[in-house]
Chain A
Amino acid sequence: MQTALVIEQLLNGLQFGVMLFLMAAGLTLIFGVMGLINLAHGSFYMIGAFACAAVAAATGSFWLGLAASLAAAAALGAIVEVTVIRRLYDRDHLDQVLATFALILILSEATRWLFGDFPLYLNIPAQLSGAIVLPAGVHYPVYRLAIILVGLLVGLGLYLLIAKTRLGMRIRAGESDREMIGALGVDIRSLYTLVFALGAALAGLAGAMVGALQSVQVGMGEPVLILAFVVIVIGGIGSIKGAFVGALLVGVTDTMGRVLLPPLLAAVIGPAQASGIGAALASMSIYIVMALILAFRPRGLFSAQG
């Protein structure tokens, strides 16, 4: 295989990983600070995409749509936190799984009610269309490079937010000792709402950016949700750094598995069998990687808690 193709595929893996990171960062933050498993995180991804598509269609501007996706997902996140999620913090994981499972059903059907039965149109902005030629003869779409850039910037921003700001200090304090920061006079309820809305907004941003590449339709968040969970578990729950490394690992494994496994197998067992089995193995590859990592590091690569 030519170098250019390998580089291009690595970039694809990186872009996919960065997108997963946007999802996983919110999930892992919410789990780290509030101890909450949120299955409905994929719904914020979907809401972000729908909000972006609707506003972009109405105004003709992708950028206004992007802003709307952040606002809509954050607002919905805050509403859901105040009405439902808040009551779940002191419950066990089981109740959280059930309640957020119910939220998926509600948000999906409500979205379909609001936006109709057919997928929506959302295209990338004209400024970012087309492909550029990188060194070594690699053609690469500008928009995907932009996603990579945004993902890296968000990662940097989150790092700075948590490491350098007062809010970040409170978040870190919330992760290590919940009672204590309440006792220190921090308004823990609004801190939780803020963190939840931040996580939802990141998911909405991911949904809007990916919505321009994919199909904006009900249920689009669910496959991504499962992958985001794989990411945070590999990385170590509660760890932003873990989510980042895990996301890139999953993104690259999935992409390279899809590309490399079928031809590798074809060389071993012949092409007729290989394409089917290779595709099956490629579909399973990230789960195999996850099981291997957890078998040797039961708390993921960078566990924040003990």
Chain B
Amino acid sequence: MNRETAFNLVLAAVLLAAPVIAFAANEPFYVALATRIAILALAAAGLNLALGFGGLVSFGHAAFFGIGGYVAGIFASHAMYSEPLPFGLPATDQMPVIWLVAALLCALAALPIGAISLRTTGVYFIMITLAFAQMIYYFAISWPAYGGEDGLSIPVRNSFVGLNTANALHFFLICYAVLMAALALTWRIRDSRFGMALQAARQNEVRLAAVGIRPFRIRLTAFVLSAVLTGLAGALFADLNRFASPSMMSWHMSGELIVLVILGGTGRLFGPVAGAILYVLLEYALGGMTERWQLFLGLILLGVVLFARGGVVGLVAGKARYD
């Protein structure tokens, strides 16, 4: 077992053990904090698929995060009053159905966005993904049906068969399980033929084309998959906060997702987990200490990028074997 695998296992164990202990000690807030970490890690894991493995720096993933959040919010509010959804679909508060719809909608949104954006590269790609996210953001703010800028409250958390989602630990375990499933998927993808081709496309596009693989399709698939995972995280995030709002789609959110990935270690399997743990704990600790917390958060982030290249995982486990 190499150092990175060992570190990954430690991270997974700590993220599971901490909330269980906190719950036993009757400190439900720390369970919620761990849930937040797990969900943001899931969102960043989605972004990592495009950004870390594919080199596609999307500055617009908050759009998918927000779409997922709104799906959860819209289902919850319709289910609450037993109103059918648009197109006569029956409303339900079952999470698996909601996740499926969120995934589908994110894929449907990511397909044209990716197809257009992938015509560009580099900074152009960064900015065109931002532009699409801004369009969706302004749409959400101005659309009155689901609350506009006020956002959409979820009166009762959506439910999951056999579990009580209002119980902090149960909800954490759902999020943790989804995160682990997503990481397992990422791991399988990374080592699959598709994953190899995706990483090859990042490193040397010409060589990939020379062996007869079109990078465009590979990249588009990765972009859509990545959007789906981030969208799932959005649905869970809305259920965690019992609230979906346009600020989930703001460019700040896109920036934060990128920060999580880099902080943890770009292109590292557990990088998003390490990044989310560090970022959420920093925000929590600094916010409690001083109203100038953003200043210190900025200084720490700057320190990490200047002096700890490769993020947390890079610091602990050394350089990635894929670079």
Task: Identify the A interface with B (CB < 8 A).
Answer: 31, 37, 39, 84, 87, 93-95, 97-99, 101-106, 108-110, 113, 226, 229-230, 233, 237, 276-277, 279-280, 283-284, 287-288, 290-291, 294-295, 298-300
Chain B residue numbers with a CB within 8 Å of A31 are 123
Answer whether A280 and B139 are a contact pair too, CB < 8 Å, given A102-B298, A106-B302, A291-B132.
yes
B124 contacts A233, CB within 8 Å? yes
Closest residue of chain B to A279 (Cβ to Cβ) is B142
CB under 8 Å from chain A, chain B span 64-90: none
Interface string of B119-132 (1 = CB under 8 A from A): 11111101110111
Q: How far does the alpha carbon of A103 sit from the alpha carbon of B303 in the complex, in Å?
A: 11
Q: In this complex, which of B51, B59, B117, B302 has the most chain A Cβ atoms within 10 angstroms of its Cβ?
A: B302
Interface of chain A: mostly helix, strand, loop or mixed? helix
CB distance from B280 to the nearest CB of A (A): 16
Chain B residue numbers with a CB within 8 Å of A87 are 306
Answer whether A104 and B127 are a contact pair too, CB < 8 Å, given A284-B138, A291-B116.
no
A93 contacts B298, CB within 8 Å? no
Q: 6 A-B pairs, CB-CB below 8 angstroms?
A: A87-B306, A98-B259, A230-B127, A233-B128, A287-B131, A291-B116
Answer whether A291 and B298 are a contact pair too, CB < 8 Å, given A94-B262, A226-B251.
no
B292 contacts A109, CB within 8 Å? yes
Chain A residue numbers with a CB within 8 Å of B301 are 98-99, 101-102, 105
Q: How far does the alpha carbon of A97 sit from the alpha carbon of B139 in the complex, in Å?
A: 26
B294 at the binding interface (Cβ < 8 Å): yes
Q: How far does the alpha carbon of A109 sit from the alpha carbon of B296 in the complex, in Å?
A: 9
Chain B residue numbers with a CB within 8 Å of A39 are 255
Task: Identify the B interface with A (CB < 8 A).
Answer: 51, 57, 59, 116-117, 119-124, 126-128, 130-132, 134-135, 138-139, 141-144, 251, 255, 258-259, 262-263, 266, 292, 294-295, 297-299, 301-302, 304-306, 309
A106 contacts B298, CB within 8 Å? yes
Chain B residue numbers with a CB within 8 Å of A279 are 142
B302 contacts A294, CB within 8 Å? no
A294 contacts B259, CB within 8 Å? no
Chain A residue numbers with a CB within 8 Å of B294 are 105, 108-109
Closest residue of chain A to B59 (Cβ to Cβ) is A97
Q: How far does the alpha carbon of A295 sit from the alpha carbon of B59 in the complex, in Å?
A: 17
**Which of B116, B130, B141, B297 is in CB contact (< 8 Å) with A105?**
B297
Answer whether A106 and B124 are a contact pair too, CB < 8 Å, given A84-B306, A280-B142.
no
B142 contacts A94, CB within 8 Å? no
**Which of A101, A108, A283 is in CB contact (< 8 Å) with B259?**
A101
Q: How far does the alpha carbon of A226 sit from the alpha carbon of B130 in the complex, in Å?
A: 9
Chain A residue numbers with a CB within 8 Å of B126 are 37, 93, 97
Q: How far does the alpha carbon of A290 sit from the alpha carbon of B59 in the complex, in Å?
A: 15
Closest residue of chain B to A227 (Cβ to Cβ) is B134
Q: How far does the alpha carbon of A294 sit from the alpha carbon of B130 in the complex, in Å?
A: 13
Chain B residue numbers with a CB within 8 Å of A93 are 57, 122-123, 126
CB distance from B17 to the nearest CB of A (A): 30
Closest CB pairs A-B (n = 10): A105-B298, A280-B142, A109-B295, A102-B301, A106-B298, A283-B138, A102-B302, A298-B120, A233-B127, A287-B131
Answer whether A298 and B119 are a contact pair too, CB < 8 Å, given A105-B301, A233-B127, A276-B142.
yes
New A-B contacts (19) at CB < 8 Å, excluding given A98-B263, A109-B295 = A84-B302, A94-B57, A97-B126, A97-B262, A98-B258, A98-B262, A98-B301, A98-B304, A103-B302, A105-B297, A277-B142, A279-B142, A280-B139, A284-B134, A284-B138, A291-B132, A294-B119, A294-B131, A298-B124
Chain A residue numbers with a CB within 8 Å of B132 are 287, 291
Chain B residue numbers with a CB within 8 Å of A299 are 120, 124
Answer whether A110 and B266 are a contact pair too, CB < 8 Å, given A37-B123, A229-B130.
no
B298 contacts A109, CB within 8 Å? yes
Chain B residue numbers with a CB within 8 Å of A102 are 297-299, 301-302, 305
Chain B residue numbers with a CB within 8 Å of A113 are 292, 295
B123 contacts A230, CB within 8 Å? no
Chain A residue numbers with a CB within 8 Å of B144 are 276
Q: How far does the alpha carbon of A219 sit from the alpha carbon of B205 in the complex, in Å?
A: 40
Answer whether A97 and B295 are a contact pair too, CB < 8 Å, given A87-B306, A229-B130.
no
B266 contacts A295, CB within 8 Å? no
CB distance from A242 to the nearest CB of B (A): 12
Chain B residue numbers with a CB within 8 Å of A288 are 135
B135 contacts A287, CB within 8 Å? yes
Closest residue of chain A to B139 (Cβ to Cβ) is A280
A284 contacts B130, CB within 8 Å? no
Closest residue of chain A to B51 (Cβ to Cβ) is A94
Q: How far does the alpha carbon of A230 sit from the alpha carbon of B251 in the complex, in Å?
A: 13
B298 contacts A226, CB within 8 Å? no
**Which of B119, B142, B299 is in CB contact (< 8 Å) with A295?**
B119
Q: How far does the alpha carbon of A247 sit from the alpha carbon of B306 in the complex, in Å?
A: 33
CB distance from A297 to the nearest CB of B (A): 9
